[in-house]
């Protein structure tokens, strides 16, 4: 079942078209990533899906509801971490969370248990009763994330959740996202961190100036850009020169090697069987042949280069 839907959505700000004809769907349990340069339309998408903005064309649906018409009902089941989250600086972390719990109708007997659990999860327990005005940037970010999860939303929108977090806190957020998707929730994740997207996202959309230029799993996108593979080939150490010679004669020049492994880069997927055959016919004993898909980072740059060409 699709929990998030954008159907041919267009959004204009005066003359500027922030999103044009954007369609996507996100299913239960999926972590969906939105990538794109600054100004590509990521935050605009989140704001449309949360009913903060109204589309000029097309429609949005979240959990089957229209965010513009059924916003109040929707917000009880969705959590949002905005790009620049505002937490009340005059209050403590615990007070911030308690107010939200009340606002979102978290049952009173549940409230303090849930608040404590989140404070612990986000490493804020020690400072829970200090005023937020004295928190570091990352601590405020962690508090905002805890707040977005307080009512155990079915759909979660995270706009650059790990921006400004230290590696330990970022790792904790990654684990949390994995856990949430394991529970069947849906996560809509805007990020500039391509390694993060590669690790977490089942599928990603790449936006460029308001248009989707690619959509699919990281591996599917790699195939779409015709991404060349890197092939790691392990042979008997004394056969490295022979293998290099065979590869060279086949026109494969980008080869790095150490004592027993050759790494051939720029290999088209459909040449892999031919390369294996060539080495075997040449009397080289193969211990391991491991093709590696290009990383999402390599794919991202290839996609943008292709758009500009
Ligand atoms: N309220 C607004 N008024 C006018 N223009 C806007 C408004 N909000 C967004 N825009 C424009 O829409 C485009 C998309 O902006 P958006 O904030 O969605 O980008 P983004 O992908 O989130 O970028 P970033 O990576 O910098 O967060 C930009 O050109 C931006 O200037
Ligand atoms: Mg943004």
pLDDT tens by residue, 186-200: 999 999 999 999 999
Query: How many whole angstroms from 121 Cα to the centroid of ligand 2?
Result: 26
CA-proximal residue: ligand 1, atom 30 (nearest): 39
For residue 29, the model assigns a pLDDT of 92
Which amino acids bring their CB within 6 angstroms of ligand 1? 13, 16, 18, 36, 38-44, 83
Query: How many whole angstroms from 45 Cα to the centroid of ligand 2?
Result: 9
Residues of the chain with CATH 3.30.70.980: 228-292
Q: Which atom of ligand 1 is nearest to the CA of 83?
A: 27
Q: How confident is the model at residue 299 (pLDDT cuts 50, 70, 90)?
A: confident
From the CA of 34, which ligand is nearest?
A: 1
Pocket perturbation via mutation, ligand 1, pick of 11, 18, 80, 191 by most ligand atoms within 8 A of CB: 18
Mean pLDDT of 257-276: 90
CA-proximal residue: ligand 1, atom 11 (nearest): 18
Flag the least confident range among 14-18, 26-30, 164-168, 243-247: 164-168
Q: Yes or no: say if 147 and 86 are a contact pair by the CB < 8 Å rule.
A: no
Architecture of domain 228-292: 2-Layer Sandwich (3.30)
CA-proximal residue: ligand 1, atom 3 (nearest): 13
For residue 138, count CB atoms less than 10 angstroms from its CB and return exposed for 0-12, middle for 13-18, buried for 19 or more.
middle
Assigned token pair, 69: 């018409």
CA-proximal residue: ligand 1, atom 31 (nearest): 39
For residue 228, the model assigns a pLDDT of 79
Report every protein residue that has its C-beta within 5 angstroms of ion ligand 2. Answer: 42-43, 83
Pocket perturbation via mutation, ligand 1, pick of 41, 159, 197 by most ligand atoms within 8 A of CB: 41
Query: How many whole angstroms from 161 Cα to the centroid of ligand 2?
Result: 11
Residues of the chain with CATH 3.40.50.300: 2-223
* 141 vs 97: CA distance, rounded Å: 13
The average confidence (pLDDT) of the chain is 93
Nearest to 21 by CA among 34, 12, 33: 12
Torsional class of 29: left (φ above 0), alpha (ψ -120 to 50), beta (otherwise): left
Q: Yes or no: say if 234 and 287 are a contact pair by the CB < 8 Å rule.
A: yes
Query: How many whole angstroms from 220 Cα to the centroid of ligand 2?
Result: 25
Residue 227 is classified by DSSP as P
Residue in the block written with tokens 């994330």: 145
First-residue to last-residue Cα distance in the chain: 38
Mean pLDDT of 211-221: 93
Flag the least confident range among 115-129, 159-173, 295-309: 295-309
CA-proximal residue: ligand 1, atom 2 (nearest): 13
Architecture of domain 2-223: 3-Layer(aba) Sandwich (3.40)
CA-to-CA dists, residue 130 to 39, 96, 102, 103, 239, angstroms: 36, 11, 20, 22, 66
* 58 phi and psi angles, rounded to 5 deg: 75, -175
For 137-165, the pLDDT digits (tens) are 889 999 999 999 999 999 999 999 999 88
CA-proximal residue: ligand 1, atom 1 (nearest): 13
| Cβ-Cβ contacts under 8 Å for 222 (sequence gap 6 or more) | 293, 294, 298, 299
From the CA of 207, which ligand is nearest?
A: 1
CA-proximal residue: ligand 1, atom 8 (nearest): 44
More confident residue, 141 or 309: 141
Please, which residues bridge with residue 263 across strands?
Answer: 232, 256
For 26-76, the pLDDT digits (tens) are 999 999 999 999 999 999 999 999 999 999 999 999 999 999 999 999 999
* 131 vs 95: CA distance, rounded Å: 9
Q: How confident is the model at residue 105 (pLDDT cuts 50, 70, 90)?
A: confident
For residue 222, the model assigns a pLDDT of 84
Query: How many whole angstroms from 181 Cα to the centroid of ligand 2?
Result: 23
């Amino acid at each position: 079942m699709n929990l998030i839907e954008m159907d041919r959505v267009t959004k204009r700000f005066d003359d500027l078209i922030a999103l044009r004809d954007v369609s996507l769907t996100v299913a239960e349990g999926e972590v969906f990533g939105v990538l794109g340069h600054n100004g590509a339309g990521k935050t605009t998408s989140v704001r449309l899906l949360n009913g903060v903005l109204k589309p000029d064309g097309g429609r949005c649906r979240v959990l089957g509801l229209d965010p513009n018409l059924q916003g109040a009902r929707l917000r009880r089941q969705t959590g949002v971490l905005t790009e620049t989250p505002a937490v009340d600086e005059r209050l403590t972390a615990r007070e911030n969370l308690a107010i939200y719990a009340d606002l979102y109708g978290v049952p009173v007997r549940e409230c303090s248990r849930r608040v404590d659990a989140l404070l612990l999860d986000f490493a804020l327990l020690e400072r829970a009763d200090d005023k937020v005005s004295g928190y570091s940037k990352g601590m405020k970010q962690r508090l905002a994330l805890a707040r977005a999860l307080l009512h155990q939303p079915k759909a979660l929108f995270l706009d650059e959740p790990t921006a400004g977090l230290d590696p330990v806190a970022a790792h904790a957020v990654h684990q949390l996202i994995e856990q949430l998707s394991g529970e069947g929730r849906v996560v809509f994740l805007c990020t500039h961190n391509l390694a993060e997207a590669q690790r977490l996202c089942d599928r990603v959309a790449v936006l460029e100036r308001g248009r989707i230029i690619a959509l699919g799993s990281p591996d599917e996108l790699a195939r779409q850009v015709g991404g060349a593979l890197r092939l790691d080939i392990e042979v008997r150490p004394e056969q490295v020169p022979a293998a290099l010679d065979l590869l060279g004669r086949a026109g494969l020049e980008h080869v790095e090697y150490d004592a027993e492994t050759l790494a051939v880069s720029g290999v088209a997927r459909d040449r892999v069987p031919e390369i294996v055959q060539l080495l075997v016919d040449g009397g080289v004993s193969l211990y391991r042949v491991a093709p590696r898909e290009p990383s999402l980072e390599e794919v991202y740059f290839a996609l943008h280069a292709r758009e500009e060409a």
